[in-house]
Structure 1
Amino acid sequence: MKGFNKSQPYNDLPLLPPQAELETKEILTKTIRASRALAQLNGAIRNLPNPSLFLDTLHLQEAKASSEIENIITTNDDLYQAVVADKKFDNPATKEVISYKEAIWLGFSRLEQRPFITTNLCIELVQCIKQNTAGIRTTPGTTLSNRQGEVIYTPPSGEQVIREKMANIETFINENDSIDPLIKMAISHYQFEAIHPFSDGNGRTGRILLLLQLKLEKLLDVPALFLSEYIIKHKDMYYEGLRSVTENNEWSTFIRYMLDMVETTAIKGLERLESIVQLMDTTGQEIKEKLPKVYSKDLVEVIFKLPYTKRQNLINADLGTPKTVGNYLIALEEAGFLKSIKVGKEKLYLNRPLMNILEN
């Protein structure tokens, strides 16, 4: 393709919107299916008695998967223990995943204040993910290589060039209403990854932007979608799709991939949500029958907020004195609802059936 040489900075990266046929019959059919699946998930979240209840858990799962794509690996146990326990975890991967979760929340709160996606917001997100003061990439020589170490792409170089291309993305996302929002999301995701504006954290920032665009377009109220899980499973197809746009201006494959991702993850997200709600209902019922003096709706919500809980979480929910809530937790463990585990000097309680749903 004119202007593209994998070893040269791609400063001729075409601006958006693309000069290509985007809304083919096949793409529009997939768009309808993806939109429907997303609407069902969003409706189910809205209908929850307490929509914020599962959000921490869902965000951590997305953060874990997104970080895994960058080979930042942590276990669910490490992750949830680190969030609940006071013990400071030395595992840098766990810290990065928690920073990513914070970046998702940061993005959503910024959109609540001002519904625009900007270059400055992207910089804020990457700084939150990396916990540093990174800005737009200024040092030349950035290249992307495959597993064999061969250069497969050289992103645009020079801060001014990068900022101009980011300004074009801003306009496309915030002002272009002529393209279906999900197709627009796929296009801007390619463009962000092709610009590669930061020295590190581009993939994770780009994946948060997917969730933010769904919010901006009023397709998803809360970031309860594990998009990264799909990319992990179909990683080669993802990179092939990106490359086919760059090398051949072939958008169709990549857009279809992104629409499949939205549809598949929304369907799976809905199933997972329904499983958790069902588990919570049956567990609540069983606690009520076996431990009527311990049971309360608020208690059940606390032990379903995250897979791990501790005495302080129950105290914070005004469920009783330290001694009372300590007795509740002991009773719940003796009855088989929770399992205690020592983390540092603290005792945490694991809701194993909830963790099982999250891990499947």
Structure 2
Amino acid sequence: MDKINITDNMETVSILKKVNIANKKLAELKGIVKTIPNEKILINFIFLQEAKDSSAIENIITTHDELYKQFIFDKSQHIAAKEVENYVEALYSGYDIIKNTELLTINGICEIQSILERNNAGIRSQSGTKILNAATGKVIYEPPQTKQEIEILFADLENFINNDALYPELDNLIKMAIIHYQFEKIHPFFDGNGRTGRIINVLYLTLKKLLDSPVLYLSKYIIENKQEYYSKIDYVTKTNDYEPYILFMLDAVYETSCHTISIVEKISKTMMEVKHKIRDELKLNYYSQELINALFYMPYTKIAFIEEYLNITRRTSAKYLNELCEYNILSKHKLGNNVYYINETLANILSNT
């Protein structure tokens, strides 16, 4: 395997046309995200869906219901939901890293992977890793085997990610596609390479200011086109022709930008409807923008969350939530001795996207 080398088939006429279209849609997404009163509402929303679908690519399957319960109850009853929780934590950790350092380094990537896998194994140090066809068991790719070779290639990738003086004329969306391919082929870890690679995608776009926060939901497109995704990567490996693969990744950026814009519009509309109902129709004396934000922070909530979010007593929190159930803004549920509340409209937006 070679270090990154920019070739003519990475900047064909077809690629440059599609880059322009994808960049415009990404800029539209960046602008519309600012219409959400609290960016963390959207970050939570997208992170949960990205985590669920990125994990599904690795055959880690969970339902929305299991996932939300994982986040409101301390002890998970579902292993896959715990895996998705790890993914969300890794995304947040990566986001903090690039905000604080304005870099995405090998150490940062290793930290992301360690959160995903809950171990500190780090970069592969033993040979023998092979990528197999899941159906036939045949070897389809053998990544670099020695730790020395992996570290050399990883260092080259790190430089490509962070050094804007390298290939300054190369568009960042093309760079993102190259970074993703190179990382997947280096396959630096024993486990978690796919999910780590998909986190790198959206962190890179945020690092390069194409987004203000990592809210692009790329895994949806990849999971819907899973076989084509693997086929395009395999084609690059066999032919060194990047054009079909880069076009695929640009389509992913465009389509998921459109999809995320639609999600933002639905959330904004629903928040305004709930705000209008609480403030203007019902004229509830405890209305505040913070209350609206709290109700949309997660689809599932509980008394303790609202208590902490609004800095009110537990009794007052329970009163608010139960009253909102009476007005069909929330619904009340029990799991064993635990009571929780669902923002059904918000939950439906996520489960139907």
TM class by smaller structure: over 0.9
Instruction: Determine the structure 1 residue equivalent to 2:314.
Output: 322
TM-score, structure 2 as length reference: 0.95
SS in 1 for 2:10: coil
Matched position secondary structure for 2:39:
coil
Letter in 1 for 2:119: N
Question: In structure 1, what is the Cα distance between the partners aligned to 2:274 and 2:35?
Answer: 20
Measured after TM superposition, the shift of residue 211 of structure 1 is 1.0
The answer for the alignment partner of 1:242 in structure 2 is 233
Structure 2 counterpart of 1:233, from 212, 224, 246: 224
How far did residue 143 of structure 1 move?
1.0
Unaligned runs of 5+ in 2: none
Q: Indicate which of 61, 79, 102 corresponds to 1:115.
A: 102
User: 2:270 and 2:259 mapped to 1: Cα distance?
Assistant: 16
SS at structure 1 position matched to 2:9: coil
One-letter amino acid matched to 2:86: S
Match of 2:90 in 1: 103
| Number of the residue aligned with 1:297 | 289
Provide, for residues 306-337 of structure 1, a one-character-per-residue CA deviation record: whole Å limited to 9, x for no partner.
00111112211336322222121111112211
Is the Cα–Cα contact under 8 Å of residues 156 and 195 in structure 1 kept in the other structure? yes
Q: Does 1:129 align with 2:116?
A: yes
* Cross-structure match for 2:5: 17
* Aligned equivalent of 1:255: 246
* Residue 72 in structure 1 maps to residue 60 in structure 2: yes
Q: Is the 8 A contact 1:54 1:306 kept in 2?
A: no
Structure 1 residues not aligned, in runs of 5+: 1-12
* Residue 294 of structure 2 corresponds to residue 307 of structure 1: no
Q: Whole-Å Cα distance in 1 between the matches of residues 128 and 205 of structure 2?
A: 34
User: Which stretch of the first structure deviates more once superposed, 90-99 or 273-282?
Assistant: 90-99
- Distance across 1 between alignment mates of 2:46 and 2:243: 30
Match of 1:354 in 2: 346
Paired residue for 2:15?
A: 27
CA contact (8 A) 2:69 2:300 kept: yes
Per the TM alignment, residue 112 of structure 1 is displaced from its structure 2 partner at its CA by 1.6
Report the RMSD for the aligned CA atoms in angstroms. 1.4
The Cα of 1:19 is off from its aligned counterpart by 3.4
* Distance in 2 separating the partners of 1:154 and 1:319: 55
Contact 2:36 2:42 in 1 (8 A): no
1:181-204 CA deviation, whole Å, 9 max, x = no partner? 000110111010011010000000
Deviations 1:58-104 (A, max 9, x none): 21111111111001111111111111223x01322111111111111
- Whether 2:199 is the aligned partner of 1:208: answer yes
Measure how far apart 1:292 and its partner are: 2.0
SS in 2 for 1:347: strand
In the alignment, which of 282, 286, 297 is matched to residue 273 of structure 2? 282
Alpha-carbon distance in structure 2 between the residues aligned to 1:47 and 1:327: 30
Deviation at 1:294, TM superposition (A): 4.5
* Counterparts of 2:81 and 2:67, CA distance in 1: 6
SS in 1 for 2:211: coil
For the residue of structure 2 that corresponds to 1:53, the secondary structure is helix
Name the % identity. Answer: 41
Question: Could you tell me whether the CA contact under 8 Å between 1:54 and 1:304 is conserved in 2?
Answer: no
The aligned counterpart of 1:140 is 127
- Aligned pair count reads 347
> Of 151, 167, 192, which residue of structure 1 is paired with 2:183?
192
Give the structure 1 partner of residue 76 of structure 2.
89
Secondary structure of residue in 2 paired with 1:340: strand
- SS state at 1:116 partner: coil
The 8 Å contact of residues 41 and 270 in structure 1, kept in 2 or not, is answered as: yes
Equivalences for 1:28-47 in 2 at 5 Å?
Answer: 28-47=16-35
- Residue 89 of structure 1 aligns to a residue whose secondary structure is coil
Q: CA deviation at 1:269?
A: 0.1
1:17/1:172 contact within 8 Å kept: no
Q: Distance in 2 between matches of 1:43 and 1:163?
A: 38
Moved more, 273-282 or 42-51: 42-51
1:273 paired with 2:264, answer yes
Tell me: CA distance 1:216–1:320, structure 2 relative to 1, closer, same or farther (3 Å). closer
Distance of 1:209 and 1:350 partners within structure 2 = 32
SS for the counterpart of 1:348 is strand
What is the rounded CA distance, in whole Å, between the counterparts of 1:261 and 1:328 in structure 2? 42
Deviations 1:100-150 (A, max 9, x none): 111111111111221222221111111011111121112221111122212
- Give me the whole-angstrom Cα distance separating, in 2, the residues matched to 1:296 and 1:171: 47
SS of the counterpart of 2:332? strand
Match of 2:46 among 40, 51, 58: 58
Q: TM-score, normalised by structure 1?
A: 0.93
